[in-house]
Amino acid sequence: PFSAGPRNCIGWKYAIANMKTIIATVIRQFKIYTEYKSVEEIEINLYLLMRMRDGPKVWLENR
């Protein structure tokens, strides 16, 4: 999404660093639960963006 070459997005490294920080913070501060037993149970719709058919069934609980 950031393109490539000499005219690529100047903020891509900052955006990637922010995403990593947010993911690490969520993983550190919450227990993550799902009702899926395996990856094969997840149904995915393929459109322009890949999405789960009925939305993510994920719950977060404070640690």
From 59, 55, 36, select the one nearest 44 (Cα to Cα): 55
Model confidence band, residue 3 (pLDDT cutoffs 50, 70, 90): confident
Average pLDDT, the chain: 85
Whether the pLDDT of residue 16 is over 80: the answer is yes
Residue 26, both tokens: 């969520």
| CA 27 centroid distance within chain | 12
Identify the pLDDT of residue 23.
96
From 1, 9, 11, select the one nearest 48 (Cα to Cα): 1
